[in-house]
């Protein structure tokens, strides 16, 4: 590792240097979201100090920024091209984060944080895959969203995709006047690919990747009496693939599994089959263009995705949201939470073998919620309803009455019915109780969030720990359960849906009148007002947040959904990163499955509640 660029004098005055001398070299982005610049060789001691002494037990976000083409003024003179970024929280104290940056020259390494925060595992692999940053000491540093042998690292600023036109949108060829020809139509047949230098497609062979699951040791039995009871039959373990084309994997997803008989010795998730480089698209787009793209992350929960992104941009740009729009946002988010949890419960029963009938019972009220979404947004799932500074349009006449009927009558009755039909079912209890156990401490260390940790007794909910919007005005509880097994992960979602109904009832009772978007034209209106207005008006289309960065998060139905954004003062995000709960919660899949049966792995995965659009991005 090379010496980092000097950034400040008198570093002894900076925080944490009294405990870890020389760790903090300076600060960055003080006006938007202050971060501390950390010496690479002091990173691990500092992370250890923050975890053990100051209680920052939860590594929420780990990503990277390539500053090759950065046009902001505040980074002039900095030689290092890359910065690896860390956001840490305390689940005990609540509150905001500590942000750390490690500046990395090209072709240099960074110490892996996996030994301090095991939840860095998948995130460091993603940074290696998309940026080429190597993490020294990582136990399994290989590609994760792309395949071994992929040429280049796509999130680097000098990497160009197929059919590349320009670095940022709006592309000149896409002007609304028309009269353009698509770039791909200009390419002669057979000339639309480029090969790396010296690469021959006829002689290429796929490289063999080292997969730790293939080397899993035979389990050692510590208890001699138990060893005596085991049948003295020589057995061998084998590696099997669950997925990627299998209905129980909830999409195109593979579990590499080493089994002995039916017992799982090791399991590792393999994803990326649905990867479309969402974040590269996000950095091509203007700020507002990304809003409909967030719908495609967790495509069951587009309203929550919209809010998380809008909130981040609003914090970065200093945009205020009117009172009525704040209430509408809470209503949409809690309706989303209910439909997500009902869908999750229904399909968990599907994974248990109760095909279709329980799922259809759970989905009936979801359809009524989607009717409400369609009425205000024009779409049932890809809602694209939020805008910076509000929502796209006000509620339609009669909408509140229909929503109140749901919140007061249909939803409480439907949740009670699911509880009555499922919770005491002997098959559900036999298959779920005691299965997939992982302690609360292990889950937090693995960066798991959402219902998963609350089913392990951890009362951590971002709506309470770091309130956003107007959640501090509502009375609701954070339900917890003690057993951290599949059964509690099912039941916690039922309890959380009931709390969401409580919030809904209060919001629908108290919602005021007024505007639903602020003075700037960030929140558009009607088609008659023209192309520019639908994109957010001139103000929205040319939004230029001040130079700096922000990490903002919400309590999405599946856990912590965060957006890390960097602005260089231009009309496009310089860095656009999604901290997806479905992806990071998969850190726990392997540890939760070891020692259980193959059939158990299916329900353990189902209880995590993933959506592959959010996993693979």
Give dist(CA 414, CA 419) in Å, integer.
9
Lowest-confidence segment of 9-18, 143-152, 599-608 by average pLDDT:
9-18
Whether 514 contacts 328, CB under 8 Å:
no
CATH classification of 278-579, choosing from 3.40.50.300, 1.10.620.20, 1.10.645.10, 1.10.520.10? Answer: 1.10.645.10
- Exposure letters 198-234 (e unless 16+ CB within 10 A, then b): eeeeeeeeeeeeebebeebeeeeeeeeeeeeeeeeee
**Chain segment 516-570, per-residue pLDDT in tens:** 877 654 444 443 443 344 334 444 456 888 899 999 999 999 999 999 999 998 8
Percent of the chain with pLDDT over 70: 86
Q: Assign 207 a pLDDT band (cuts: 50, 70, 90).
A: low
Residue 514, Cβ density class (10 Å: 0-12 exposed, 13-18 middle, ≥19 buried): exposed
CA distance 582 to 466: 21
Which letter does DSSP use for residue 192 in this model? S
Does the pLDDT value for residue 363 go beyond 70?
yes
pLDDT at position 298 is 87
Task: Compute the distance between CA of residue 492 and CA of residue 475 in angstroms, rounded to an integer.
Answer: 18
Q: How many CA atoms lie within 13 A of 239 on its CB side?
A: 12
Three-state DSSP at 455 gives coil
268 token code pair: 């590792």
| Dihedral angle computed from the Cα positions of residues 213, 215, 217 and 218, in that order, rounded to the nearest 10 degrees | 80
pLDDT for position 181: 66
Please choose, from the candidates 283, 147, 286, 261, the residue with its C-alpha nearest in 3D space to the C-alpha of residue 209: 147
From residue 79, alpha-carbon distances to 4, 8, 289, 445 in Å are 8, 15, 32, 34
CA 463 to each of CA 33, 184, 420, 497: distance values in angstroms, whole numbers, following the listed order: 20, 46, 29, 14
CB 286 within 8 A of CB 271: no
Task: Report CA-CA distances (Å) from 49 to 14, 23, 240, 513, 594.
Answer: 15, 11, 41, 49, 31
pLDDT at 240: 84
Return the CATH number of 11-136, one of 3.40.50.970, 3.40.50.620, 3.30.460.80, 3.40.50.410. Answer: 3.30.460.80
Q: What is the pLDDT of residues 417-457, one digit of tens each?
A: 999 988 999 999 999 998 999 999 999 999 999 999 999 99
pTM score, whole prediction: 0.89
- Bigger pLDDT: 509 vs 525: 509
pLDDT band for 11, please (50, 70, 90 cuts).
low
For residues 372 and 402, what is the distance between their CA atoms, to the nearest angstrom?
Answer: 8
Torsion 432-435-436-438 (CA) sign: positive
Residue boundaries of the structural domains of the chain: 11-136, 216-274+582-612, 278-579
For the chain, the straight-line distance linking the first and the last C-alpha, in angstroms and rounded, comes to 31
The radius of gyration computed from the CA coordinates of the chain, to the nearest angstrom, equals 25
Euclidean distance between CA atoms 601 and 606, whole angstroms: 9
pLDDT recorded at residue 524: 44
Query: Other C-beta atoms within 10 Å of 491: how many?
Result: 21
Q: What are phi and psi of 91, to 5 degrees?
A: -75, -20
Q: Identify the pLDDT of residue 208.
A: 66
Q: What is the mean pLDDT of residues 212-234?
A: 56
- What span, in angstroms and rounded, lies between the C-alpha atoms of 383 and 389? 17
**Length of the chain measured in residues:** 617
Q: Across the strands, what pairs with 370?
A: none
pLDDT, tens only, 277-295: 899 999 998 888 899 999 9
For the record, the structure tokens of 152 come out as: 């280049």
Q: What angle do CA 553, 556, 557 make, to 5 degrees?
A: 165
Model confidence band, residue 483 (pLDDT cutoffs 50, 70, 90): very high
Cα–Cα distances in angstroms (integers) from residue 520 to residues 128, 306, 546, 555, 616, in the given order = 40, 19, 16, 27, 34
Model confidence at 9, pLDDT cuts 50, 70, 90, reads very low
Strand 35-38 and strand 58-66: the pairing is: unpaired
Residue 503 CB neighbours (<10 A): 22
Alpha helices by DSSP H, listed for 378-410, are 399-405
> pLDDT by residue (tens digit) across 140-190?
898 999 888 888 899 999 998 777 777 877 777 766 666 666 666 666 555
| pLDDT (average), residues 239-255 | 80
For residues 353-371, average pLDDT: 86
24-28, 88-92, 203-207, 425-429: which range is least confident on average? Answer: 203-207
| pLDDT over 90 (residue 398) | yes
DSSP per-residue codes, 81-141? -EEEEEEEE-TTT-S--EEEEEEE-TT-EEE-STTT-TTHHHHHHHHHHHH--EEET-TT-
Mean pLDDT, rounded, of the chain: 85
Q: Does domain 216-274+582-612 correspond to CATH entry 3.30.390?
A: yes
What is the per-residue pLDDT across 39-93, written as a single tens digit (0 to 9) for each?
Answer: 999 999 999 999 999 999 999 999 999 999 988 888 888 888 999 999 999 999 9
């Amino acid at each position: 590792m090379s010496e980092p660029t000097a950034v400040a004098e008198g570093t002894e005055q900076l925080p944490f240097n009294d405990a870890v001398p020389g760790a903090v070299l300076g600060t960055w982005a003080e006006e938007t979201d202050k971060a501390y610049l950390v010496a690479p060789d002091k990173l691990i001691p500092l992370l250890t100090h923050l975890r053990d002494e100051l209680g920052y037990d939860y590594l929420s976000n780990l990503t990277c920024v390539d500053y090759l083409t950065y046009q902001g003024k505040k980074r002039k003179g900095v030689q290092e091209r890359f910065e690896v970024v860390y956001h840490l929280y305390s689940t005990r104290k609540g509150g905001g984060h500590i942000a750390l940056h490690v500046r990395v020259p090209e072709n240099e390494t960074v110490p892996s944080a996996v030994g301090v925060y095991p939840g860095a595992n998948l995130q460091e692999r993603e940074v290696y895959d998309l940026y080429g940053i190597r993490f020294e000491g990582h136990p399994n540093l290989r590609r994760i969203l792309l395949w071994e042998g992929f040429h280049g690292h796509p999130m680097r600023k000098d990497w160009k995709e197929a059919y590349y036109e320009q670095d940022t949108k709006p592309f000149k060829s896409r002007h609304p006047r028309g009269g353009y020809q698509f770039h791909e139509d200009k390419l002669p047949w057979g000339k639309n690919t480029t090969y790396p230098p010296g690469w021959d497609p006829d002689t290429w062979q796929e490289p063999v990747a080292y997969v730790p699951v293939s080397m899993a040791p035979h389990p050692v039995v510590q208890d001699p009496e138990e060893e005596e009871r085991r049948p003295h039959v020589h057995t061998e373990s084998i590696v099997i693939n669950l997925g990627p084309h299998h209905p129980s994997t909830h999409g195109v997803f593979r579990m590499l599994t080493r089994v002995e008989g039916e017992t799982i010795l090791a399991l590792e998730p393999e994803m990326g089959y649905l990867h479309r480089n969402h974040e590269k698209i996000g950095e091509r787009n203007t700020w507002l263009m990304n809003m409909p793209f967030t719908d495609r992350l967790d495509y069951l929960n587009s309203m929550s995705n919209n809010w998380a992104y809008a909130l981040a941009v609003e914090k970065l740009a200093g945009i205020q949201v009117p009172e009525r729009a704040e209430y509408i946002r809470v209503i949409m988010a809690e309706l989303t939470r209910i439909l997500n949890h009902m869908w999750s419960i229904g399909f968990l029963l599907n994974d248990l073998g109760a095909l279709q009938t329980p799922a259809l019972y759970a989905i009936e009220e979801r359809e009524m919620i989607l009717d409400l979404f369609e009425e205000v947004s024009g779409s049932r799932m890809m809602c694209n309803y939020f805008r910076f500074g509000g929502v796209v349009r006000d509620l339609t006449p009669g909408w509140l009455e229909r929503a109140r009927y749901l919140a007061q009558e249909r939803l409480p009755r439907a949740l009670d019915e699911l509880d009555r039909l499922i919770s005491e079912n002997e098959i559900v209890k036999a298959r779920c109780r005691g299965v997939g156990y992982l302690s609360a401490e292990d889950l937090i260390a693995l960066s798991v969030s959402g219902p998963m940790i609350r089913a392990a007794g951890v009362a951590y909910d971002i709506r309470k720990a770091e309130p956003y919007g107007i959640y501090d005005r509502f009375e609701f509880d954070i339900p917890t359960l003690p057993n951290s097994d599949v059964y509690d992960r099912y039941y916690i979602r039922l309890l959380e849906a009931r709390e969401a109904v409580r919030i809904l009832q209060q919001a629908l009772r108290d919602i005021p009148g007024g505007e639903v978007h602020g003075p700037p034209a960030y929140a558009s209106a009607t088609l008659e007002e023209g192309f520019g207005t639908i994109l957010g008006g001139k103000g929205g289309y040319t939004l230029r947040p001040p130079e700096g960065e922000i990490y903002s998060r919400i309590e999405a139905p599946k856990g912590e959904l965060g957006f890390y954004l960097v602005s260089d003062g231009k009309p496009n995000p310089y860095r656009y990163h999604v901290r997806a709960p479905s992806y990071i919660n998969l850190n726990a899949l392997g540890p939760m499955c070891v020692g259980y049966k193959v059939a158990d792995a299916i329900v353990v995965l189902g209880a995590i509640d993933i959506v592959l659009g959010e996993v693979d991005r």
